[in-house]
Structure 1
Amino acid sequence: MKPPAVVRRPRHCVCERPFLVIWEATRACPLACLHCRAEAQTARHPDELDGDGARRVMDQVAAFGRPGPLFVITGGDPFQRADLTDLIAYGTSLGLRVAVSPSGTPTLTRAALAAVREAGAVALSLSLDGSTAERHDAFRGVPGVFDRTLDGWRAARELGLKVQVNTTVTRHGLEDLADVAALVRREGAMLWSGFLLVPTGRGEQLEPLTADEIEDVLHFLHDCGSVMAVKTTEGHHFRRVALQRAVLDAHGQRPRLGPLYGRLTARAAELGLFDGERRAVRRPPMDVSSGRGFVFVSHTGEVHPSGFLPVSGGNVKDRPLTEIYRESELFTRLRNPSLLGGKCGACEFRSVCGGSRSRAYGSTRDVLAADPYCAYEPGSFPYQEEIRALAESTKR
């Protein structure tokens, strides 16, 4: 019997089609989140793609072929669009798997979620950045968001929608991370995603974590993967961590980590986070990165490798999405790990990790520079042959 994969790769070549397409339906949102990459406004932008433009985008996504990419409608708050359910129904009619990522605004009601589900949406992602109303609402800038998020989460599950919960990892909520994990496990979610902050939009004003703190967080998230499904957003070195931990486990060893990891694991023990039944199989992280299996279409049609990487490869109003993704210089360069600079270029994990291109750009204005928030020194892991063999096995 073939052992479970440590890192997964999409079944189809990411040079030809993305695994995930995210469309920013609008930047309108009444929240004032401290980290918002979209710097959301209260009103919709006059140049936002209208219904016909949105349907053309979905036609172009479907043109990648079947099975089509997962199509996520995000914002701002997509529930600010009156045509949202019509667009979901259209995407579903094309054979796309459609998911929605709303904000915890007053529009997040059971009736709205039922309409989304009836239109064909298969999944929902919600943000939870604190384990209490006080913590979460302070980060989101508006009171009542925490309660609406939990109510929406529970309603979505009851309606049959798969729910992904996203948590932004910032200094604001760093010591609360184990409590958030316990809440996610208790409430139940298809997937918990730890988003490592990118310095773009309002996020430029937040104090970043150090590379060592991020390393501690990634290993803590890996531990959480034993009791619930976990992934990261803009935490590509989570794949490196998964490979390293698999090799260390085989040798009966533990990684040497910092004080933050110690505090998070101690708090998790107090909460009983790791008590009870463990997952039979750990969810392997997916080897998808900016421009390499992932593409973002903005509210005005600009095509970015990621919503956190504000460099455009073209506009869907001028060129088909398929052509931009497959042929634009920006995207083809991002899919070539030999072009990476600094530590990322020298790292033995560059083809399976490659670092966050968004953070590299946010810090240096160079999309191919090293990810400044990675603590790993290339070549320093002790079991290089085993790592190479394990990384190679993920390609099959």
Structure 2
Amino acid sequence: MKRPPHVSGPPDPSSIDTSERPFVLIWEVTQACNLACTHCRANAQPKRHPDELTTAEGKRLLDQAREFGPGQLVVLSGGDPLTRPDLVELVEYGTDHGLRMTLTPSGTASLTPEIISDLEDAGIRRLALSIDGASPDSHDTFRGETGTFEQTVEAAKAARDVGLPLQINTTVCAQTVDELPALRDLVSELGAVLWSVFFLVPVGRGRILDPISPDRAEEVMQWLSDVSDEAPFGVKTTEAPFYRRVSAQRRRDASDAPATDRIGRRNGIIAGDGFAFVSHVGELYPSGFLPESAGTVRDGGLVDGYRNSELFQSLRDRDALRGKCGACEFRHICGGSRSRAFAHTDDPLASDPLCPYVPNGYDGPMPTGRASSD
């Protein structure tokens, strides 16, 4: 029997002070996964790590998340969360304690209609599935396992059958960028409510992949803005916040940028500022793609680490950004990918090398690690 709802809905995004709470809290419940995806941030392995947060520790983490305020959004990610036998129990616990629980499982044979139904009964609010190619061949090659495209599409249909909102995540790199128009059509066919488009950050196994150039990224942003205007689903970018700058420019002025995207996320959310990540062993990071620790949640440090650590506070100060990101008039609605800046320079406050925009009058150094033009 489906559990009664314990959360009426998301808090008003305009009411969220991102210096006090994240809009999105991701918990990497495990790094175990049976896939070997070429872009995997976590370098996922088949077996679970012996120092993963236990069930009891996970529940204490969810208790800490409640301290941020009503309706905190918690994303359970991995690896593949389904490798944890206590997954449904954790979803139930979070739901019963007023958290908005969502899930990003891997597209494997474990993601059956039965487990999707169990998760929906437990109170899961959204299922996010990754599709990186519009055909079985392209997707399965990227994911490193034959059959994952079919399994993921079947899981998407199963989510639709039980009325569970579906999000599709797609990685953009040189290998996948030409698939985007066909993927847009597939996202629509599957009835997704949101397409989350992730622009590669060179961490984990993703270091071996080729990113697209800044100029190509700008073209993709323009195209995504058109898709957002026309599609029946929302569009957001991950680790590419200059999508907001592109949208603002299309509206002629930075002050005209919309206050939220179509799923209620406030503009300007970046790693450490409205976003936080807890690793499988309990380390608190600004993002899974920015592996600088602000302490551990095992000692109850989630809320204090997010609000008061020097790392998180620095990431929330847009006037502390360096280079052309610091000089950019769009820094408060964009802020650049702090994760990509860190991956290229070891400085999370440096300029995002994927963004080609140069602020008027800026004559300082350009970001290091910029890809060559396509």
TM more than 0.5: yes
| Deviation of 1:247 (Å) | 2.0
CA distance in 1, matches of 2:265, 2:247: 8
Cα RMSD after superposing both structures: 1.6
2:195 aligns to what? 192
> Is the aligned partner of 1:231 residue 2:236?
yes
2:111 aligns to what? 108
Work out the percentage of aligned pairs sharing the same amino acid: 49
Q: 1:153 to 1:365 in 2, by over 3 A?
A: same
2:48 aligns to what? 44
Gaps of 5+ in 1: 1-7, 249-280, 382-396
1:256-271 paired onto structure 2 within 5 Å: none
CA distance in 2, matches of 1:65, 1:221: 33
CA contact (8 A) 1:239 1:285 kept: no
After superposition, give the CA deviation of every residue in 1:284-315 in whole Å (9 maximum; x if it has no partner).
Answer: 86321111111000000000001111111110
> Is the aligned partner of 1:26 residue 2:6?
no
1:22-171 paired onto structure 2 within 5 Å: 22-66=26-70, 68-171=71-174
2:266 aligns to what? 286
CA distance in 1, matches of 2:319, 2:172: 30
CA contact (8 A) 1:238 1:285 kept: no
| Deviation of 1:182 (Å) | 1.1
CA contact (8 A) 2:132 2:142 kept: yes
After superposition, give the CA deviation of every residue in 1:155-176 in whole Å (9 maximum; x if it has no partner).
Answer: 0011111100000001111111
| Deviation of 1:227 (Å) | 2.4
CA distance in 2, matches of 1:302, 1:24: 10
SS at match of 1:208: coil
Q: How many residues align?
A: 341
CA contact (8 A) 1:231 1:285 kept: no
TM-score under structure 1 length normalisation: 0.84
After superposition, give the CA deviation of every residue in 1:327-351 in whole Å (9 maximum; x if it has no partner).
Answer: 0000000000111001100100111
Moved over 6 A (4+): none
2:256 aligns to what? none
1:233-252 paired onto structure 2 within 5 Å: 233-247=238-252
TM-score under structure 2 length normalisation: 0.89
1:345 aligns to what? 326
> Is the aligned partner of 1:370 residue 2:374?
no
CA contact (8 A) 2:173 2:212 kept: yes
> Is the aligned partner of 1:295 residue 2:276?
yes
> Is the aligned partner of 1:216 residue 2:219?
yes
Instruction: Give the residue type in structure 2 aligned to 1:139.
Output: F
> Is the aligned partner of 1:177 residue 2:180?
yes
> Is the aligned partner of 1:328 residue 2:313?
no
Gaps of 5+ in 2: 1-11, 254-259, 363-374
